[in-house]
Structure 1
Amino acid sequence: MTTCCCCWVLVPQGSAGIMEQVGGQFDDVVPPGLTFFNPCAQKVSGAQSLKVQILRCELNAVSKDRASVFVKCAVIYRAIPSQVHRSYYSMTGAADQIRSYVIANLRGLLPEKTLDEIFTERDHIASTIRKSLAETLANYGFELCDVLLEDIDVRGDIRNSMNQQVYQRYNRQVEQHLGDIQKIHQIAAAEAQAEASRLRGVGTAQERSAIATAFQQSMDGFDANGSMKFAELTALMLMTQYFDMVNDITVHGKVKPSSYYFPLKQGGGLDRGELRERLKRTLQQGKEQHQQQSAPNTTVRRAPIEDADL
């Protein structure tokens, strides 16, 4: 807005005055400040703002997947100082015309993209509008500073549906992570159980080896001293093992993996006397084989108890 008197004009800072000849032809650009002119040959037609201006646009459009979208856009522009006369004379109602250009570009871009693409590619959409509009406005003496998509909104039901999709996606990821954790726990438990079984087997093997070695030494000692007969020794060993088995059942409530329980009497089975006699006979055969071996430090070979015998 300029202040004009008969022979002078006052142009505010951030604006440029337009000086015309009496016939209406453009004469010169009046800079900010106080300027004198010849009122008989010149007149001040108006002023053009050089400040950066912002123009807001709103548009309802339909996306590629038939979703209604409400877009708010901001256009930042200004008149080029060296082309003030062009911006003043070439475009009437600059704001309305720039708004029309922006809306036309948005109507051409939004229907080509889905709703998700509009949200994720909002910067790309703004950049496309900026490139298309900058050249057009430059022809009219305006500089396009920036184009911003301030807000993208949809209907409430569509928004709820999108939130539900996001929730389902994250929930599926959580379920996958929980499944992976459970799988790791199961693998670790299986490995621990396998290692425990291996160590238990090693311990059982060592225990049986120690029992066999001790029994071998006891048999050799009693055989050398002659203090007990072989039959008495065998009966004593069987009774000792029997009471150990009964003690295991009483203390632990069940038979340990290293103990084996033989019923004394069942229908059609062997009683205690018959079982003892067969075990004694097997041990006697092992002792006879041991006595026949001449090589020192030879391990006693016991004849296996066949299934048919028991």
Structure 2
Amino acid sequence: MNFGVIAFVVLVLLILILLISNIVIVQQSRAYVVERLGAFRAVWNVGLHLKVPFIERVAKKVSLKEQVADFAPQPVITKDNVTMQIDTVIYFQITDPKLYTYGVEHPMNAIENLTATTLRNIIGDMELDQSLTSRDIINSRMRAILDEATDPWGIKVNRVELKNIIPPKEIQNAMEKQMKAERERRESILQAEGTKQSQILVAEGEKQSAILKADAAKQAAILKAEGEKEARIMAAEAEAQAIMQVQQALADSLKLLNDAAPNDQVVKLKALEAMQKVADGKATKIIIPSELQGLAGLAASAKAVFDTEDPKQ
């Protein structure tokens, strides 16, 4: 094979390798800072890019995702001269890759030092009790200060959290004793409230029981009275019914008597029977009408005749 052909093939391969090596693909949520001959050229975002060989280079690859920086505990002194350890967590995001690349040397170290300084300034204006109970206030103030300070670096601070506040050992012991006493006090209050509620419930139960007993006695008395009333009404109704039946029977007998068209002798005989019933009473004198006297004599004579007859007849 001719040497010239070989050289041409090698040259073509070198050119292809060079072109392929200068093809840059930027991934999602990332940005590349490109320099040309040492000077800033452009910021490449997601997509396919071609770099000029030997002239351009990728100076920095920047992540655009939200990042977390967890810093070691920092010693701080409160307004009442109490030294304690506080560690912080910062959530930040790079918004300008160019400023992040050229704004500050070692951005993370700069953010850590700025965080420690800001924390000391804020805690230095607070007493111990206030600093322990004002985490939200401290977080908000630190976020505002850090966000403003890191803006020229192309960084946005989204959130700052005090991860842990560690007071001195003797203060921790005093706080534990105070918390224990507070717990015991609350427990005593709860026990007293429970006893009070129990007594109220017992009294309420006794009250309801007495009310129920009184209602039961009242209902029993009402039912008894109603029963006696109903019994008296039924007895009166039965007596009235009996009287009505007697009267009806008497009326029926009179009706039958009238329907039979009795003669004068039958009427007189009925009158005599009535007089007999009157005589059964306790009256000492009985006045018999004149029209009944003959009938009475006739009845006596008939009785005498029957008495003298032979019983076998």
TM-score (ref. length: structure 2): 0.51
Report the CA distance between 1:70 and its aligned residue. 1.3
In the alignment, the residues of structure 2 paired with residue 35 and residue 182 of structure 1 have an alpha-carbon distance, to the nearest angstrom, of 79
Structure 2 equivalent of residue 46 of structure 1: 60
Give the alignment's Cα RMSD to 1 decimal. Answer: 2.9
Report the CA distance between 1:31 and its aligned residue. 1.7
1:88 aligns with 2:93: no
In the alignment, the residues of structure 1 paired with residue 194 and residue 55 of structure 2 have an alpha-carbon distance, to the nearest angstrom, of 90
Which of 67, 73, 81 is the matching residue for 1:66? 81
**Mapping of 1:138-287 within 5 angstroms?**
138-171=151-184
Unaligned runs of 5+ in 1: 184-310
In the alignment, the residues of structure 2 paired with residue 21 and residue 178 of structure 1 have an alpha-carbon distance, to the nearest angstrom, of 78
SS in 2 for 1:139: helix
In the alignment, the residues of structure 2 paired with residue 182 and residue 42 of structure 1 have an alpha-carbon distance, to the nearest angstrom, of 83
> Over residues 254-288 of structure 1, what are the superposed CA-to-partner deviations in whole Å (9 max), with x where a residue is unaligned?
xxxxxxxxxxxxxxxxxxxxxxxxxxxxxxxxxxx
In the alignment, the residues of structure 2 paired with residue 172 and residue 35 of structure 1 have an alpha-carbon distance, to the nearest angstrom, of 71
Report the CA distance between 1:89 and its aligned residue. 1.0
In the alignment, the residues of structure 2 paired with residue 48 and residue 156 of structure 1 have an alpha-carbon distance, to the nearest angstrom, of 43
In the alignment, the residues of structure 1 paired with residue 49 and residue 187 of structure 2 have an alpha-carbon distance, to the nearest angstrom, of 73
Q: Which has the larger radius of gyration?
A: 2
In the alignment, the residues of structure 1 paired with residue 105 and residue 20 of structure 2 have an alpha-carbon distance, to the nearest angstrom, of 26
In the alignment, the residues of structure 2 paired with residue 180 and residue 11 of structure 1 have an alpha-carbon distance, to the nearest angstrom, of 68
> Over residues 172-216 of structure 1, what are the superposed CA-to-partner deviations in whole Å (9 max), with x where a residue is unaligned?
566788899999xxxxxxxxxxxxxxxxxxxxxxxxxxxxxxxxx
Which of 28, 49, 54 is the matching residue for 1:35? 49
Change (3 A) 1:158 1:39: same
Structure 2 equivalent of residue 97 of structure 1: 110
TM-score (ref. length: structure 1): 0.51
Task: Tell me which protein shows more helix as a share of its residues.
Answer: 2
In the alignment, the residues of structure 2 paired with residue 146 and residue 13 of structure 1 have an alpha-carbon distance, to the nearest angstrom, of 24
In the alignment, the residues of structure 1 paired with residue 54 and residue 195 of structure 2 have an alpha-carbon distance, to the nearest angstrom, of 95
In the alignment, the residues of structure 2 paired with residue 32 and residue 179 of structure 1 have an alpha-carbon distance, to the nearest angstrom, of 68
**Which amino acid is 2:66 matched to?**
V
Which of 125, 140, 144 is the matching residue for 1:127? 140
> Over residues 85-125 of structure 1, what are the superposed CA-to-partner deviations in whole Å (9 max), with x where a residue is unaligned?
11111122111100111100111111222222111101100
**Which amino acid is 2:170 matched to?**
D
Structure 2 equivalent of residue 16 of structure 1: 31
Structure 2 equivalent of residue 295 of structure 1: none
Change (3 A) 1:19 1:65: same
In the alignment, the residues of structure 1 paired with residue 61 and residue 191 of structure 2 have an alpha-carbon distance, to the nearest angstrom, of 69
> Percent identity at matched positions?
24
* Count of residue pairs the alignment pairs up: 179
In the alignment, the residues of structure 2 paired with residue 175 and residue 31 of structure 1 have an alpha-carbon distance, to the nearest angstrom, of 65
**Which amino acid is 2:137 matched to?**
H
